[in-house]
Amino acid sequence: MEEHKENIHTKDVNGKMSNTKEDEKTEPCSRICPEGESAPQVSPSQSSSDFSHPVGVKDVMKKRLKSHYKKQKLMQSSTESSPTDTYYDYICVVDFEATCEEDNPSDFHHEIIEFPMVLINTHTLEIVDSFQEYVKPELNPQLSDFCVKLTGITQKMVEEADVFPAVLQRVVDWLQERELGTKYKYAILTDGAWDMSKFLNIQCRLSKIRYPQFAKKWINIRKSYGNFYKVPRTQTKLSTMLEKLGLKYEGRPHSGLDDSKNIARIALRMLQDGCQLRVNERIHAGQLLSVPSSAPVEGAPAPHSPRSRD
């Protein structure tokens, strides 16, 4: 749904969103130098004639060793002071699918119809689990032909699904079962700002529940990717990021779960390349804001059951 998300109007049910641009005030994603020098060694095959001046050779070797260990110490110091001290144990990728029309009129309210999650273990660099449920829309219960064709989600799928508050409760249960936010530090990751700042924000208002605390901050992988690989915003679409990393899309495009899995593959490659993925966006009072790189690295709070609006 990536291309379609970009055409969504910023007007939500509350009619107010921040003018903060995705490309502004983004924090750099740190690199860890992958190169290290090995301590110089002398091959046992060298003949004694190579050491006709043993004192000079010894001095050279001492200098080289001193330089080597000095570089190693600097690298270790740099690593110890990096944000990895407060790194996340898990990253939870979310990519909603929502009701849509071909031209997305400005007064159209998008309702979430698929809630997927893909869990990344940042220590083993593996996708370790996933969650997926469809959601029954209430404001516009009939899906458009365009929406069905785009997402592959049929009318029968959503009619047999639960409404959003019930699905969100099962999401909370799923996160709690994995001890995220209690035993393990985690963060939400999305492909762009729309999933949280628009889709989830609008859906919570339509469902008359409070916006969940665990989703108020997230990693926008487009920002992280652009900053880390030094590419413009035009090269941070899902399909482009995959292509530039030498990866191919796996699954059905615009399936929320398949999109989430492919976004997770990008995140894994970035972690392997030395990127320290960290929260860079948040929502406050319905407004989208950037999180500066100087902010402390904090995990998402433990999830709690949905609460109704007062």
What are the CA-CA distances from residue 234 to residues 53, 145, 229, 255 (Å)?
A: 60, 29, 13, 22
- Report, in angstroms and rounded to the nearest whole number, the Rg of the chain calculated over CA atoms: 24
**Confidence bin at 254 (pLDDT 50/70/90):** very high
For residue 45 the two structure tokens come to 């095959």
Give the mean pLDDT of the chain.
83
What was the pLDDT predicted at 105?
A: 86
CB count in 10 Å sphere of residue 82: 15
> What digits encode the pLDDT tens for the residues 9-35?
444 444 444 444 444 444 444 443 444
pTM flag (> 0.85): no
Which residue did the predictor score with more confidence, 288 or 7? Answer: 288
Q: What is the pLDDT of residues 191-222, one digit of tens each?
A: 999 999 999 999 999 999 999 999 999 999 99
Annotate the chain with three-state secondary structure: CHHHHCCCCCCCCCCCCCCCCCCCCCCCCCCCCCCCCCCCCCCCCCCHHHHCCHHHHHHHHHHHHHHHHHHHHHHHHHHHCCHHHHCCCEEEECCCEECCCCCCCCCCCCCEEEEEEEEEECCCCEEEEEEEEEECCCCCCCCCHHHHHHHCCCHHHHHCCECHHHHHHHHHHHHHHCCECCCECEEEEECCCHHHHHHHHHHHHHCCECCCHHHCEEEEHHHHHHHHHCCCHHHCCHHHHHHHCCCCCCCCCCCHHHHHHHHHHHHHHHHHCCCCCCCCEEEECCEEEECCCCCCCCCCCCCCCCCECC
Give the pLDDT confidence score for residue 6 in this predicted structure.
60
User: Averaged over 127-131, what is the pLDDT?
Assistant: 98
Q: How confident is the model at residue 77 (pLDDT cuts 50, 70, 90)?
A: very low
Q: Between 174 and 8, whose confidence is greater?
A: 174
**151 with 97: CB under 8 angstroms?**
yes
Catalytic residues: 97, 254
pLDDT value of position 64? 63
pLDDT in tens, 136-174: 999 999 999 999 999 999 999 999 999 999 999 999 999
How far is it, in rounded angstroms, from Cα 150 to Cα 153? 8
Q: Which residues contact 132 (CB under 8 A, 6 or more apart)?
A: 114, 115, 116, 117, 256, 257
Domain map (residue ranges) of the chain = 58-64+86-302
State which fold the 58-64+86-302 domain adopts.
Nucleotidyltransferase; domain 5 (3.30.420)
Copy the structure tokens of residue 30.
């740190």
pLDDT score, position 76: 46
CA pseudo-torsion sign 306, 130, 114, 198? positive
Amino acid at 216: K
Per-residue pLDDT at 261: 98
Residue with tokens 């976004």: 263
Q: Please write the tens of the pLDDT for every residue from 221-233.
A: 999 999 999 999 9
Is the pLDDT at 259 greater than 80, yes or no?
yes
pLDDT at residue 230, rounded to an integer: 97
For 268-306, the pLDDT digits (tens) are 999 999 999 999 999 999 999 999 999 999 999 999 999
